[in-house]
Amino acid sequence: MEKIKDVAARFAGLSEVEAVALGGSRAGLNHDDNSDYDVYVYYSVPIEEYIRKEILESYCSVMEIGNWYWEYEDDCMLKTGDGLDVIYRNLDEFSGELSKIVEGYQAANGYSTCLWDNLLNCQIIYDEYGRLERAKKRFMVPYPDKLRKNIIRRNWSLINDNLLSYSRQIKRAVLRNDRVSMLNRTSGFLDSYFDILFALNRMTHPGEKRMVEFCKKNCTRLPKDFEENLNRLFDDMYVYPDKVNEDIQKIITELRKILVLRNSLVFR
């Protein structure tokens, strides 16, 4: 952790940088020995690659500078063997995206509130003008009912109601014995399924790691046989793919029960 603080301090010393924060599971209690360190660097002016490389090469044995698969970041391996991801954000743009979600109630196809969770649970290490702390306070609000309903409605349609829903696509993939398509569509199904569960429980989405464990520990409303039904699906996908449609429908049925009981407006 001392090395991470050193890295953060080096970035904080740059004139282009407004704020630095530690995020991801390392910022809270939901991490293990295999968790990477996520350092978020908020800039007013983009930082040149050679400057970033010069900072990181003092601490890292492997560096991939300028990856842009999700956000713009440098992905590294520390000399200690731990992973380090340095993610670069413009604070105004980031706040604008959060406003669309928290204040504009914009849902997505899974992972709707991950950015919100990231801000609320980050540890601010440096904040020259206090703008990141003000953004954190701005979005530290009760979970909006309209956002909750939008997430559940959108993702419920994706997993069950829509003509192009994941469950329909999985069914066709099973009939064709197309396992690649089945795995791909099942992944999308699970993205929407967990997005619904977190919204139903008025919880921001913590990200893709250890979600079953996180739900069991933190969600007060879960479908009956939550973990058992998921494990059955995972087992059947590789051994008995002809049972996958039945497994998917079981998961949908139990989810529908708690949505009807707790959130009947979803189906109006």
Mean pLDDT of 73-86: 95
Examine the domain organization and report whether 134 and 35 are in the same domain.
Answer: yes
Mean pLDDT of 94-108: 98
Examine the domain organization and report whether 187 and 113 are in the same domain.
Answer: no
d(C-alpha 9, C-alpha 20), whole Å: 8
Other CB atoms within 10 Å distance of the CB of residue 145: 12
Q: Which of 138, 153, 169 is the last residue of a domain?
A: 138
Q: Please say if the pLDDT value at position 253 is more than 60.
A: yes
Examine the domain organization and report whether 70 and 132 are in the same domain.
Answer: yes
Q: Which of 138, 173, 208 is the last residue of a domain?
A: 138
The 3-state secondary structure of 198-222, one letter per residue = HHHCCCCCCCCCCHHHHHHHHCCCC
Q: Which of 138, 165, 191 is the last residue of a domain?
A: 138
Q: How many CA atoms lie within 13 A of 153 on its CB side?
A: 14
Going by pLDDT thresholds of 50, 70 and 90, the confidence category of residue 27 is: very low
Q: Please say if the pLDDT value at position 264 is more than 60.
A: no
Q: Token pair for residue 92? A: 């105004």
pLDDT at 35: 72
Interval 184-202: pLDDT, tens: 999 999 999 999 999 999 9
Cα dihedral 55/57/63/68 (nearest 10): 10
Nearest to 228 by CA among 250, 245, 206, 203: 250
Whole-structure pTM value: 0.91
Examine the domain organization and report whether 39 and 151 are in the same domain.
Answer: no
pLDDT at 238: 86
Examine the domain organization and report whether 108 and 72 are in the same domain.
Answer: yes
- By CB atoms closer than 10 A (0-12, 13-18, 19+), residue 201 is middle
Q: List the CATH number of the domain containing 8.
A: 3.30.460.10
Other CB atoms within 10 Å distance of the CB of residue 77: 16
pLDDT at 128: 95
Q: Which domain holds residue 209?
A: 145-267
Examine the domain organization and report whether 111 and 151 are in the same domain.
Answer: no
Examine the domain organization and report whether 162 and 212 are in the same domain.
Answer: yes
Examine the domain organization and report whether 31 and 159 are in the same domain.
Answer: no
Going by pLDDT thresholds of 50, 70 and 90, the confidence category of residue 36 is: confident
Interval 135-192: pLDDT, tens: 999 999 999 999 999 999 999 999 997 888 999 999 999 999 999 999 999 999 999 9
Instruction: Give the 3-state secondary structure of residue 225.
Output: coil
Examine the domain organization and report whether 89 and 188 are in the same domain.
Answer: no
Q: Please say if the pLDDT value at position 29 is more than 80.
A: no
Examine the domain organization and report whether 76 and 40 are in the same domain.
Answer: yes
pLDDT at 186: 96
How many domains does the chain divide into?
2
Q: Please say if the pLDDT value at position 250 is more than 60.
A: yes
pLDDT at 33: 62
d(C-alpha 198, C-alpha 221), whole Å: 9
Examine the domain organization and report whether 97 and 158 are in the same domain.
Answer: no
Instruction: Give the 3-state secondary structure of residue 50.
Output: helix
pLDDT at 24: 67
Examine the domain organization and report whether 10 and 130 are in the same domain.
Answer: yes
Work out whether the CA dihedral 99, 103, 107, 113 comes out positive or negative.
positive
Q: What is the residue-averaged pLDDT of the chain?
A: 92
